[in-house]
Structure 1
Amino acid sequence: MTNTCPYCGTKLKKETDFFFCDFCDMNLPLDQIQKEGERIQIINREINAAYLNMTTPELMTFSTCELILLLKEARKTRAFFFEPTRKNTQKGEDEQFKLSTKKMYVIENILKIRLGYIPANLNQSFLNRYKKNIENPKYKTKMLIWET
């Protein structure tokens, strides 16, 4: 089997602890190489509210799809604390609103860097379209394999 670059499909040169792509001019760790021109595979984890406790650098490792789903969860959590805060009933709820708002901003801004915009409405229609694009068979076809 031929080891290929996940970005351009070029056959890779084996170095000591990594592979090198001449075309992309970059080192690739062993866990990133593909076989026979396969495209990059992204495995998405199930999203839950516990991920909202992660640090910004940890969230930056999430796939874009995971971040979109996590943003939906962050907005839901923030909305939960919004009404009590607006009525100014308890100081603890005000602090939770502030923290959930800041986390929502973090996720929105990571997505803005990746997508070029912040998704406004994460309704089922948006999520279905996004999933349909991800699963488009056109983008799962193998790349041509090139010599360096």
Structure 2
Amino acid sequence: MDNTCPYCGTNLKMETDFFFCDFCDMNLSLDQIQKDGERIQIINREINSDDLNRTTPELMTFSTWELILLLKEARKKRTFFFDPHTRKDTQKGEDKSLQFKLSTKKMYVIENILKVRLGYIPANLNQSFINNYKKNIENPKYKRKMLIWET
């Protein structure tokens, strides 16, 4: 099995504590390399509302797919606090405006991470958008191995 670059498929040179791709002109750590032209593998985690409590640096490690699902959750949560009927919880006596502010800021964080990755902020995360994005992720055409080139 040959160690190959996850970006271009070139056979890698082993250096002291890393691998080097001549074509990409970059160092790759052991956890980045692929075998025999395999493409980069992205593992998507299950997303839940508790993930909205993560810090911005933690959210930046999420895949784009995970962030899209989390943005949908953040917008849903924000809408709950925006509704004037839920702003004041009479049983607890809590003012929900602070929760609205915090959920809005978290939504902005996720939107801006997505803007960097996609070049835009998805306006409507309806089921059609979600289905099309997932269909593209699962497209077998993009899971085929790359051709391996010697340097």
Equivalent position of 1:28 in the other structure? 28
Superposed counterparts of 1:47-86, under 5 Å: 47-84=47-84
Q: 1:23 to 1:92 in 2, by over 3 A?
A: same
| Rounded Cα–Cα distance in structure 1 between residues aligned with 2:34 and 2:86 | 55
Q: Does 1:127 align with 2:130?
A: yes
Give the aligned CA root-mean-square deviation in angstroms: 1.4
| Rounded Cα–Cα distance in structure 1 between residues aligned with 2:70 and 2:54 | 11
Report the 3-state secondary structure (helix = DSSP H, G, I; strand = E; otherwise coil) of the residue aligned with 1:31: coil
Superposed counterparts of 1:1-148, under 5 Å: 1-84=1-84, 89=88, 92-148=95-151
Query: What TM-score, normalized by structure 2, do the two folds share?
Result: 0.93
Query: What TM-score, normalized by structure 1, do the two folds share?
Result: 0.94
1:17, distance to aligned residue in structure 2 (A): 1.9
Stretch of structure 1 that moved more, 117-126 or 4-13: 117-126
Report the 3-state secondary structure (helix = DSSP H, G, I; strand = E; otherwise coil) of the residue aligned with 1:42: coil
1:45, distance to aligned residue in structure 2 (A): 0.1
- Per-residue deviation, residues 64-112 of structure 1 (Å, max 9, x unmatched): 000000000100111111114x785366310000000000000001101
Identity between Structure 1 and Structure 2 (%)? 82
- Per-residue deviation, residues 37-68 of structure 1 (Å, max 9, x unmatched): 00000000000111111111111111100000
Q: Point out where structure 2 has 5 or more consecutive residues left out of the alignment.
A: none
The number of residue pairs the alignment matches comes to 147
Q: Point out where structure 1 has 5 or more consecutive residues left out of the alignment.
A: none
